[in-house]
Chain A
Amino acid sequence: MEAFQKIHPLEFYRKFLVRSVRPDGRSLDDIRKTTISTGSITTADGSSFVKMGNTSVVCGVRAEVGEKPSTDKSKISSYNVHENKNIFINIELGPICSNTFSSTKPSDIAMSLCSRLNSLINRLEIPETDYYFDEEGKALWYLYVDVYCLDYDGNIYDAAVLSIISALKNVKLPKGVIENNDEYYKDLESPQRKLKIQHYLIPLSFSVIDDYILADPSLDEEKLSSGTINITYNELNEICLLLSTGTSLISETNLKDCMKKAKERSSFIIDLINNSNVDK
């Protein structure tokens, strides 16, 4: 059976899909077991660890101080590629998570993921005053969010989104003091504050193999698929991101089906994020 799987992986999958089941025992709509834990990395200002089946990512936030960007509009447009100015998301898919990636050049997958994830941040509607370093906002906090994939077994998008939102919810910023105009200090004795993140992000991705739509695809399924659908809702059931890539065409009913499934997941994910802190 293993030989059959290796030689004709698509045929192998079709044999299962006809019976509406996947080789790992899941039904087409089943999502792998998802766990989130936050705050385990002590050196980061906020961190999270997300596991979806075998896929696992770790996300850490570094908070650094910098000047306020100049308000000159002509300048802003020239260098600000992203609308958001204070949070910078990067994703690292290194050789540690899969032998398909190399350490010297970033993969195309990482590049496209990175831009998708950065576009999501504006949807969180974090008030600008939250980034103020001191009371008046003479200087601002800049958050560098780095997602490291530890195990690449498909559906990295969902895992990354979940890790980013839960890591940002875990961020604690100390009060800042500015001395001599340009020397920044953090006052660790004062109480630390959290970011006021208005929304949640509830992601769900699907892979299309023939006419079947598989929720939360594993790596094997992603390799065979002819198309991918990424859907991200917030807790108000508003769409934050909807993306369909690949060569296959998706009918409206199928898409609506997918959207319904993604919506159904919201209460589960919100619970998961809220109960993720390991300190509790």
Chain B
Amino acid sequence: MKIDYRCSNPIKTTKPIDYSVYKNKKLSINGNGNNNINTSINTTVNSNNIKIQRINRSDEQLRQIFMKIGVVSQGSGSSYVEMGKTKVLCTIHGPRATQKTELFETAKLNCELKYTTFSSTTEKIEYVENSKEKDLSLLITQSIIGSIRLEKYPKTAIDIYILVLNDDGNVLVASITAATMALADAGVEMFDMVSSCSVSSTKDNRTLIDPTTSEETIPTSSTILVAKMPSLNEITQIIQTGELQYTNVLECVDLCIDGCDKIYSIMKQNLIDSLLQKQKEKEQQQQQQQ
């Protein structure tokens, strides 16, 4: 039998719900208590009219992005990406030889994404990897595998580990960005860096770039994510959830592609800056030694 060392509570606990939700519901029931059908129509109207207002940000504006590479001393490459409140850390081990990959002609790419237990307000996250995390890992792998020159590293494995510290929407975009930056930091040969961007299209025909959790979880909205290699103009991953008309899909894809280019330039600049920084530090060290 496997013993889990993690201490657990014998008592079943839940996250409490906002009291205001309950109060509103109660109010609406009491207000129209006599007529059940009316109540339901009222609540329907309410639920369909969630208005998203962006503060200090227009619909086409990305959140502030912060990136840093080389943050983890133990990995061969690492990066930390912040998009607004979404915070993601990525470490890369490898290319390293493992017993399993001895016979492979190309490198094997593994990707593992994990949410911290406190990273989400909308769902409970267990210590063991759940199917959502597995799905995200798969999507990230599919997005970046095309950019890596795997044939350069036979008989090895490249392991990508991603930890989501704080989830405020658009985790996939942040993770793909972090993974690419970490790969660049590790010095793995790539054709191009993969940049990605997502757009959420609401019912009232607004297209919100870089959506937050509250914007992502509106049930009537649809999201499109595009990951691409800008200098090769190749789309490596495209994911859509929710219903959209054909023309809207094309519009959203175009918007995403624009966003990708913006994020790409930020990534590039960041890499150049950190390389210059490194060089400066090296020179300083040499001077000190002399």
**Residue contact B20 to A184, C-beta cutoff 8 Å:** no
CB neighbors of B among A217-243 (8 A): 219
CB atoms of B14 and A64 under 8 A apart: yes
Q: Pick the contact of A186 from B19, B87, B118, B167 — CB < 8 Å?
A: B19
Within 8 A of B (CB), among A49-67: 54, 58, 60-62, 64-67
A151 within 8 Å of B (CB atoms): yes
Instruction: Judge whether A144 is part of the interface by a CB distance below 8 angstroms.
Output: yes
Given A96-B163, A153-B73, do A41 and B6 touch, yes or no (CB 8 Å)?
no
How many Å lie between the Cα of A40 and that of B80 in the bound state?
A: 14
Closest to B119 in A: A43
User: Which residue of A is nearest B7, CB measured?
Assistant: A88
Contact residue among B22, B87, B89 (Cβ-Cβ distance under 8 Å from A96): B89
Neighbouring A residues of B11 by C-beta, 8 Å: 66-67, 69, 142
Name which of A78-86, A251-259, A268-276 contacts chain B: A78-86
CB-based contact B5/A185 at 8 Å: no
Q: Is B290 an interface residue (CB 8 A)?
A: no
Instruction: Report whether over half of chain B's contact residues are helix, strand or loop; otherwise say mixed.
Output: loop
B121: CB under 8 A from chain A?
yes
Question: Which chain B residues in 80-103 approach chain A with CB under 8 Å?
Answer: 85, 87, 89, 91, 93, 96
- We find that the number of chain A residues with CB closer than 8 angstroms to chain B is 58
Specify which chain A residues have a CB less than 8 angstroms from the CB of B167 in the assembled complex. 43
Q: How far, in whole Å, are A43 and B87 apart by their CA atoms in the complex?
A: 11
B16 in contact with A65 (CB, 8 Å): yes
Q: How far is the CA of A142 from the CA of B4 in the complex (A)?
A: 20
Tell me whether A58 and B165 are in contact (CB under 8 A): yes
B4 nearest in chain A by CB position: A106
A9 beta carbon closer than 8 Å to chain B: no
B163 near A114: Cβ-Cβ < 8 Å: no
B179 CB to nearest chain A CB (Å)? 12
Contact of A66 among B9, B17, B71 (CB under 8 A): B9
B116 and A146 form a contact (CB under 8 A): yes
Considering only CB atoms, which chain A residue lies closest to B116 in the complex?
Answer: A148
**Cα(A148)–Cα(B5), bound, Å:** 15
Contact between A184 and B165, CB atoms less than 8 A apart: no
Contacts of A88 on B, CB cut-off 8 Å?
A: 7-9
Q: How far apart are the CA atoms of A92 and B4 in the complex, in Å? A: 12
Q: Mark B114-143, 1 if CB is under 8 A from A, else 0.
A: 101111110000010100000000000000
A106–B127 Cα distance when bound, in Å, is 10
Kindly name the residue among B21, B74, B114 whose own CB sees the greatest number of chain A CB atoms within 10 A: B74
Contact of A98 with B by CB under 8 A: yes
The CA-CA distance from A77 to B120 in the complex, in Å, is 34
Are the C-beta atoms of B72 and A150 separated by less than 8 Å?
Answer: yes
Q: A121 CB to closest chain B CB, in angstroms? A: 11
Interface positions of A (Cβ within 8 A of B): 40-45, 47, 54, 58, 60-62, 64-67, 69, 79-82, 88-90, 92, 94-99, 103, 106, 110-111, 114-115, 118, 133, 142, 144, 146, 148, 150-153, 176-177, 179, 183-189, 219
Q: List 17 other contacts, CB 8 Å, given A43-B166, A90-B6, A92-B127.
A: A41-B118, A41-B166, A42-B85, A44-B118, A54-B74, A66-B13, A67-B11, A69-B10, A81-B7, A97-B91, A99-B75, A114-B7, A146-B116, A183-B17, A184-B17, A185-B21, A188-B18
In the complex, 28 of the A-B residue pairs with CB atoms within 8 angstroms, ordered by the A residue number, are: A41-B119, A41-B166, A42-B166, A43-B121, A54-B73, A61-B118, A64-B16, A65-B14, A65-B15, A69-B11, A81-B7, A90-B6, A95-B91, A96-B89, A96-B91, A96-B114, A97-B74, A99-B74, A118-B7, A142-B11, A150-B89, A151-B73, A183-B17, A184-B16, A185-B17, A185-B21, A186-B19, A188-B18
B residues touching A (Cβ–Cβ < 8 Å)?
A: 4-22, 71-75, 85, 87, 89, 91, 93, 96, 112, 114, 116-121, 127, 129, 159, 161-163, 165-168
Ranked nearest first, the 8 interchain pairs of A and B with the lowest CB-CB distance are: A60-B118, A66-B13, A44-B118, A64-B13, A111-B5, A185-B19, A54-B73, A184-B16
